[in-house]
A and B are shown apart, each in its own frame.
Chain A
Amino acid sequence: MSRLPNLLRIKNNQSIDLGKIENLTYADFYALAIDLLKDDDKHCTNYFAYPYKDGLQFIMAIADDVHQDIIILSHILKGTDKQELKALTKENFALHIFEREIYENYGVYFTGHPWLKPLRFAHDRALKEIQINDYPFYKIKSEELHEVGVGPIHAGIIEPGHFRFICNGENVLHLEIQLGWQHRGIEKLILDKENLLQRTILAESIAGDTVIGHTLAFVQIMESLSNKKVDEQIHIERSLALELERIAIHIGDISALCVDAAYYLGANLFGVLRTPIINFLQLWSGNRFGKSLIRPGGTNYPFTDDLKQELWQILDNFEQKFEEIAYIVYRLPSIQNRFDFVGTVTKKQAKLIGTVGLSARMSDIKRDIRMTHPNIAYKKFPYETVTVKKGDVFARFLLKKKEIRHSIAWIRNVLSSFDFNSKKKQKPNYNLNFKANSLSISLVEGWRGEICHCALTNEDGNLQYYKIKDPSMHNWKALELSLRNVEISDFPINNKSYNLSYCGHDL
């Protein structure tokens, strides 16, 4: 790009002075963003606006996989200007969700946006004209077609979400997912709480199944904003927990997929295996989901030798049983018959909608933060990512198995080559002083995919804006695409194979 040779690049978990961010004109910003995002190695991890003086400052963070850093772009929309911008979505569909969010929160209209609908119906949104009950669903008019609405109240104990199918007999032509039924305003809650411990506990509740992923991103931001250095050992312990969380959730998903295929034998056997992993987390931190394990500035629960021995043993046991059962289940003809060629998302589609994490890797896209933007732990012990090709339910089913194996291998590598010293004690520090006027970004590869947290501080060194992006934000679109021309009875296995978060999306 000749117009702007000096792109502002920061590393993952690095903070930067807000003054250093150059505000482009919208035309330049538009051209540059589109140009950068044409590259397969770059994708937008976050694009948000926040109130700045009398207008809005827009910040876009583009992850560059080759340089292993994040490019920051910015532009300003003055309050006196017309609140209208040309939609980037027209040229890069993956940005649709961010523009919808900005449109909803600040009432900035994006011209030419093909799908400009409210996102999560926040209580303090600018766009009050549309209420949650009159969401503008896509409609097809035909005598032969019928609509099936599922939710927001479901039969099971799952979270609220509304699914609107347009069907031709058993076949689904189109699925639209409407979320936002349980918006908690967690970004605002984090700002409202002054106490860092309270904030950390809030971060643990962003998505109940990604406790460690989200807390890790939050803690890394807090440490980066305050220049707090923690021991390498603590970084490694945190990533150990992250991998354990991945194993536990993946095995739970595999078990749940067996339930949905009515193969209860496999479901029970896999379901039993989840217990030792989460019980280990309980042994370590007192909570099966790893709550209270990750704290800014240190840890209350150091990884002792006893824990190390225990984990070795659990993993040996786990792996042996896991391989034994997987050998049967993954080769079972009726399971293959049920999962194969159902809900395919092609590589092209996956790129178009900008999926991340598991749902990118199932379509053969190598997108993994642990590999491209490693934190200290993954720098020391590199993680080799794994992909599968087909993009259907079986691909996702298979990928979960492969990721479990890779995670176990990574943990073994760490346990055998890193010298854990439990005498080193760095206690959590809840009195961190933040740098003034800074922006910090943290990327974490949670089990579902890339989690992105961004924080901005004001001139007094207080948090002025906190932005959370759960991978589900992008990936719900992948579920919608999976259902095209698939039977409506295949919806549950598709849904389960992604296992996306409602509250991570709704915040």
Chain B
Amino acid sequence: MISFIILIFSSIFFVGIISQTKAMIRGRKRPSILQPLYAVLRLFKKGAVYSTTTSIIFKLAPIIYFSTVFLSVFFIPVGKLSGLLSFEGDFIYFVYLLGLGKFMMIIGAMDTGSSFEGMGANREALYSLLVEPAFFILMGSLALFTDHISFYELFTHLHLHNNLTYTISIVSIYLLIFMAMVENSRMPIDDPETHLELTMVHEVMVLDNSGFDLALIHIATWLKFAVFGALISDFIIPTDWAIPYQILFFFGIQILFAIIIGFLETFRARNKMAKNPQWLIMLSAIAIVVFLTTLIITNKIILH
């Protein structure tokens, strides 16, 4: 329960920290760290506008999307604190829960009948498809390494103590950072700040959403970031520390993660749309590094 509460709490500040970092590097005035929260509260006060071409799917999509992301938070442990729910194979459930939400958003976007939103939906579907293998190779390798297949068990048994295991953690963290970027449609595959519909991926899908629905979509984004941040912190937090220190450390890592995202988004231009699939497959290729390392450590491959 505590892990759930601190995760939700950290998610509120996440996007604010990213914007602050970006503004600072670019030499602009920094927005308040709570600006995203104000924006969402404002949206909650507004009514939603629905296009006459849409059906019930369009109205359901944001709610289902939000609930799947919200539910996925239940599975995430923080250090020694287990998540609200935990069972064997829960990481597979976790991925397809997010997948279901995304699927709803995609058909919701198609439901509007707009050529822009169809375009965005088709891109989002492709990118989610391509990033999935990377996640499974990564989690599969960790499962092989620890002999456990639930998030909590897996991370509590992840003892990193020699050079080869350090490789696993470094590469995994790298992967999780970029998966978080893809999952949230950030740079380099998408630019959340752009005003150009033709180049958008996620933003164009939610063009027709307004008011309450849009607020849910925004909160889902925060939660997703926090979830990935928590997964990263699980790699780093030493399991033998006392729980209060672990919690403090968790917040430190969340903040650092947000700052890293700010940096990553500032110092480069986005990809050409055609090169995105290639870039995403690269993530799977890097995940194979983790897999091979695991095979070596567990003596499935014996090096001479």
Contact = CB atoms under 8 A, between A and B. Distances in A.
B122 to A, nearest CB: 8
A338 B269 contact: yes
A87 to B, nearest CB: 34
A335 B267 CA distance: 10
A263 B273 CA distance: 15
Contact of A170 (B197, B270, B273): B273
A197 interface: no
Contacts of A24: none
A464 B194 CA distance: 48
Contact of A492 (B27, B193, B199, B267): B199
Contacts of B197: 150, 155
B115 to A, nearest CB: 5
B198 A337 contact: no
Given A146-B115, A148-B119, A264 B270 contact: no
B196 interface: yes
Interface in A135-172: 146-150, 155-156, 170
Q: Size range of the interface on B?
A: 20 to 34
A490 B276 CA distance: 13
A262 B191 contact: yes
A1 interface: no
Q: How large is the interface on A (under 10, 10 to 19, 20 to 34, 35 or more residues)?
A: 20 to 34
Contacts of B269: 258, 261-263, 332, 334-335, 337-338
A260 interface: yes
A491 B116 CA distance: 14
A264 B193 contact: yes
Contacts of A149: 115
A211 interface: no
A150 B116 CA distance: 9
A338 B272 contact: yes
Given A264-B22, A264-B26, A491 B270 contact: no
Interface string B91-129: 000000000000000000000000110010000000000
Nearest to B187: A262
| Most interface-central of A156, A260, A262 (chain B CB within 10 A) | A262
A265 B187 CA distance: 14
A462 B233 CA distance: 80
Interface in A481-502: 487-492
A111 interface: no
A334 B270 contact: yes
Contacts of B272: 337-338, 342, 487, 490
Given A268-B26, A334-B188, A262 B119 contact: no
Interface centre among B25, B27, B115, B194 (most CB of A within 10 A): B115
B14 to A, nearest CB: 20
Interface in B163-218: 187-188, 191, 193-199
B293 interface: no
Contacts of A491: 198
A268 B116 CA distance: 28
A265 B26 contact: yes
B194 A337 contact: no
B300 interface: no
B274 interface: yes
Nearest to A339: B269
Contacts of A489: 198-199, 273
B161 interface: no
A342 B271 CA distance: 12
Contacts of B119: 148, 170, 488
Interface string A405-436: 00000000000000000000000000000000
A156 to B, nearest CB: 6
B28 interface: yes
Contact of B268 (A263, A269, A492): A263
Contact of B270 (A150, A338, A487): A338
- List the 10 shortest-distance A-B pairs measured between CB atoms, nearest first: A262-B191, A261-B269, A262-B270, A263-B269, A334-B269, A489-B273, A334-B268, A492-B196, A489-B199, A268-B26
Interface of A: 146-150, 155-156, 170, 258, 260-265, 268-269, 332, 334-335, 337-338, 342, 487-492
12 contacts: A262-B191, A262-B193, A262-B194, A262-B270, A263-B270, A264-B26, A268-B27, A332-B268, A338-B269, A338-B272, A487-B274, A488-B198
Given A262-B191, A334-B271, 7 more contacts: A148-B115, A148-B119, A149-B115, A332-B269, A334-B270, A335-B269, A488-B198
